[in-house]
Chains A and B, each alone.
Chain A
Amino acid sequence: MSFRMILRVFLTVFLCLRASGQGGGELRFSIRNDPKTFDPLLAEDEASGTVRYLTGATLIRIDRKTQKFAPELAESWRILAGGTSIVFKLRQGILFSDGTPFSSDDVAYTFRRMTDPKMHSPVGDSFRGGPGEIKTLVQGPAQVTVTFPAAIAGVESLFDQLTIVSSHSPKKELATLGPFVLGEHKPGSHVLFRRNPNYWKKDATGRRLPYLDSVRADIQQNGDLELLRFKRGEVHMIDTLDPELFDRLWAGSPGETRNAGASLESEMLWFNQVSGAPLPAHKKAWFRSKDFRRAFSSAINRSDLCRLAFKGHADQAAGPISGANRLWANAKLAPHVYDPKAALARLHRDGFRLEKGTLRDRQGNAVEFSLTTNSGNKARSRMAALVQQDLAKIGIRLNVVPLDLPSLIERITRTHDYEACLLGLVNVDLDPNSQMNVWLSSAANHPWNPKQKTPETAWEAEIDRLMRAQSSALDPKKRKAAFDRVQEIVWEEAPILYLVNKHALSAVSRRVLNVSPVSLWPRLYWNPEYLRVTNQVAQSR
């Protein structure tokens, strides 16, 4: 072996070592299931969403930290003609991962593909809304105008889901513009992402992003095992932890737990108000009485729910929109105050009376009914037991019935054979437009009384009106005012009792740098291009 050869080998090794020291290494975390699709326009499940988020780029992103719209592939945009069209000025000199250049043609192609009825694209559905065609007008390589048949309020938020695909790359939708490209997928085991060498973003020092060489998402459904692997260092972060697991980890290594405060998840309880439900008339009368619902709500000790059911990792909920949604939550609302005496007084006014520890209505019926919830959720069953005790204090007897989720859904949505229901809800989308199918009285997902032909109460009619108003108004202030009013009505009428907002609990290894957990999805890797994994343990702060 010649000296030069030895030198070359030495140099190569040195360079490799240097590269690995400089590079970001491999980040590992778990996802629950295999992605159902790698086509960003078809993604619907969470795992496919993860693939889309790591590999794709959009024209506009919702900055997960500030919850504001941020330019991405579009340098800037303007909304024209009363909200029916939007003009994008695109960034220049960007390449797809396979080296083909990005231009306005790709945006036009993405729109054509997404709105193709044969595609059944979920993103397409959210854009399509009403009848008529979405038109794109290419004005040179760097400008494109999209025209909608009718004005869409808050249209920017829809673009957060729209990943731009290449119009002419031979690799089709596997040619991407995001920080990573799909490496390999072993079903049931993992999905591997590699660094996109052509990614266009650079950091402040001018270095090309992303820092990481690769990302590995292991498929793991069991939370206990996930925590075990985290402790062994086999995965670097866990984006959602139970309060129990969080506390267990905290007891061992508090520096690796992260609590990002209230999340978008609400725990809520509602009564069956379906007029045709197979319930006795007197029970329907209770559930349709605002006083009954409000009294029920103020008999619940929300602070105990947070403290005991969630080990302190939850906040009392005031209304339908968690405070984590900074733009749209109505900040004036406060949780219904816990006051059993006031609750009883209110029930008295409504004709109920407490007799030997049992609450009775005007006709003398003892107030006893079932509270259904899904089985297998420990925090929720603890909540049910707490609510049961709280209500016993004002003479209401609750029978807690845990059911498996499918039969619970069947009862809520089809047979309407239930009395009260305790469930959780996640609002992934911040914009109230995404909640039309919950609040409109005609909607199939209107929880307490779905598919009404005409609103059965004045306040539901008012909610309908306000929801429609916010969806057609273009002025953000007007939209906010209308949606604030919806939240006030819901607070006042209490068709759904909001109980708590769970905290966003997660775990991050000390080896991962630049993680900044937020309450929005994806909590931990919303800024994947900036994440790094070092071999040394970072100093705990």
Chain B
Amino acid sequence: MTTAGKSAGVLLFAIVAASLAAGYLAPASYETQFRESPNASPCRQFPLGTDELGRDRLARLLYGSRVSLLLAPAAAALSVALSALIGITAGYAGGWLERAAMAAADLFVSLPWLFLLLTVRALLPLNVTPWASILITFLLLGALSWAPGARVIRSGAAALKHSEFALLARASGCPGPRLLWKHILPNLRPLMAAQFWIAIPMFILSEANLGMLGLGIAEPLPSWGGLLAEIQDPGRIAGNPVLLAPAILLTVFLSCFQFVFSKGDR
């Protein structure tokens, strides 16, 4: 591995470790409101200052990283798994199944999402704990974003289905499902990895927008999305550049992650 790769790995490890050790590193709990010092500038007690309600920004950033770091990749994995399942089945089976799956994908891409998510929120019980709420959010993100990936994977699977090695596998008596799982799927890994990389930052940002619909993360739990939403207001950054910390951390995290892990996918 190159020096750059190594340092990216170290950085990545540091970010993950820091977020996991948030309880030890953060000077205060993410929800404690120091109401006497709202909007504090960075100082010894609050290394990154405090937010409008006097909550420690560093603590919120660390805990927020934990939430987003764990859940965004998990949701991305779910989304890719669904894309793969639907895409491969459609591509391999062909015929009406393929047409149905692709029609469903078209439908999914063109659905009025806002409206649908509102309905989803209306169906959920009101009393969900913040953790359950964020879990549901990412679950939804993962479950609903399969369509574009499924299209890509479907065409990949359709091409592989006609390959010589698939024919040989069948000629040696391999049953259909096993053929998909053991022979075709491994060839689609690079495609799926690409889907995965695109999904992570997308999900982190969508989570913040879903908050507007009452679906995102609930008070007082922090998330990167919520912290990023704070800097939508350009007038505030000028006065307080510390607000950019989550954006910088997210960028660093994603570039390192990609740098380290995408090496494996040749």
With contact pairs A382-B52, A382-B53, A389-B220 given, residues A403 and B121 touching in the complex (Cβ less than 8 Å): yes
Q: Which of A370, A382, A385, A404 contacts B127 (CB 8 A)?
A: A370
Shortest CB–CB separation between residue A345 and chain B, in angstroms? 24
Q: Does A418 contact B (CB under 8 A)?
A: yes
Contacts of B126 in A (CB 8 A): 370, 372, 399, 401, 417-419
**A369–B219 alpha-carbon span in the complex (Å):** 14
Q: Does B248 contact A (CB under 8 A)?
A: no
Contacts of A370 in B (CB 8 A): 126-127
**A28–B211 alpha-carbon span in the complex (Å):** 36
B219 and A381 within 8 A (CB): yes
Q: Does B129 contact A (CB under 8 A)?
A: yes
**A244–B38 alpha-carbon span in the complex (Å):** 14
Shortest CB–CB separation between residue A536 and chain B, in angstroms? 29
Q: Which of B31, B53, B233 contacts A244 (CB 8 A)?
A: B233
**A369–B122 alpha-carbon span in the complex (Å):** 17
- Report B192-230 residues with CB < 8 Å from chain A CB: 211-214, 218-220
Interface size of A by CB at 8 A reads: 30
Contacts of A372 in B (CB 8 A): 126
With contact pairs A385-B53, A388-B219, A389-B220 given, residues A399 and B213 touching in the complex (Cβ less than 8 Å): no
Shortest CB–CB separation between residue A301 and chain B, in angstroms? 8
Shortest CB–CB separation between residue B220 and chain A, in angstroms? 6
B220 and A407 within 8 A (CB): no
**A224–B236 alpha-carbon span in the complex (Å):** 12
Q: Which of B127, B214, B233 has the most CB of A within 10 A?
A: B214
**A419–B128 alpha-carbon span in the complex (Å):** 13
B211 and A375 within 8 A (CB): yes
B213 and A308 within 8 A (CB): no
A399 and B218 within 8 A (CB): yes
Q: Does B155 contact A (CB under 8 A)?
A: no
Q: Does A248 contact B (CB under 8 A)?
A: yes
Q: Does A402 contact B (CB under 8 A)?
A: yes
**A308–B34 alpha-carbon span in the complex (Å):** 11
Q: Does A350 contact B (CB under 8 A)?
A: no
**A403–B214 alpha-carbon span in the complex (Å):** 5
Q: Which of A372, A404, A410 has the most CB of B within 10 A?
A: A404
A368 and B54 within 8 A (CB): no
Q: Does A173 contact B (CB under 8 A)?
A: no
Q: Which of B53, B128, B219 has the most CB of A within 10 A?
A: B219
Q: Does A138 contact B (CB under 8 A)?
A: no
Contact digits for A31-51, partner B, Cβ 8 Å, 1 yes 0 no: 000000000000000000000
**A389–B219 alpha-carbon span in the complex (Å):** 10
Q: Does A400 contact B (CB under 8 A)?
A: yes
**A399–B52 alpha-carbon span in the complex (Å):** 20
With contact pairs A386-B33, A399-B126, A404-B118 given, residues A375 and B212 touching in the complex (Cβ less than 8 Å): yes
B121 and A407 within 8 A (CB): yes
Contacts of A389 in B (CB 8 A): 31, 33, 220
With contact pairs A381-B219, A382-B52 given, residues A375 and B214 touching in the complex (Cβ less than 8 Å): yes
Shortest CB–CB separation between residue A404 and chain B, in angstroms? 6
B31 and A308 within 8 A (CB): no
**A401–B122 alpha-carbon span in the complex (Å):** 11
Shortest CB–CB separation between residue B133 and chain A, in angstroms? 8
Contacts of A308 in B (CB 8 A): 33, 35, 38, 52-54
**A381–B38 alpha-carbon span in the complex (Å):** 16
Q: Which of B54, B130, B214 contacts A404 (CB 8 A)?
A: B214
B127 and A368 within 8 A (CB): yes
Contacts of B31 in A (CB 8 A): 389
Q: Which of B35, B126, B233 has the most CB of A within 10 A?
A: B126
Q: Which of B129, B212, B233, B235 has the most CB of A within 10 A?
A: B235
A400 and B218 within 8 A (CB): yes
Contacts of A419 in B (CB 8 A): 126-127
Q: Which of A369, A400, A418 has the most CB of B within 10 A?
A: A400
A400 and B219 within 8 A (CB): yes
B130 and A375 within 8 A (CB): no
B214 and A401 within 8 A (CB): yes
B220 and A388 within 8 A (CB): yes
Contact digits for A271-311, partner B, Cβ 8 Å, 1 yes 0 no: 00000000000000000000000000000000010011000
Contacts of B118 in A (CB 8 A): 404, 407
Shortest CB–CB separation between residue A54 and chain B, in angstroms? 31
Q: Which of A244, A368, A376, A410 contacts B212 (CB 8 A)?
A: A376
**A385–B124 alpha-carbon span in the complex (Å):** 21
A399 and B53 within 8 A (CB): no
Contact digits for B230-258, partner A, Cβ 8 Å, 1 yes 0 no: 00010110000000000000000000000
Contacts of A403 in B (CB 8 A): 121, 213-214
Question: Can you show 13 pairs from A to B with CB atoms below 8 A apart?
Answer: A382-B52, A384-B219, A389-B33, A399-B128, A399-B129, A399-B130, A400-B218, A400-B219, A402-B211, A402-B213, A402-B218, A407-B122, A417-B126
Which 9 A-B residue pairs are closest in the complex by CB-CB distance?
A370-B126, A403-B214, A400-B219, A402-B214, A385-B219, A370-B127, A375-B212, A248-B235, A389-B33
List 5 additional contacts besides A370-B126, A417-B126; criterion CB under 8 Å. Answer: A308-B35, A375-B211, A385-B33, A399-B128, A404-B214
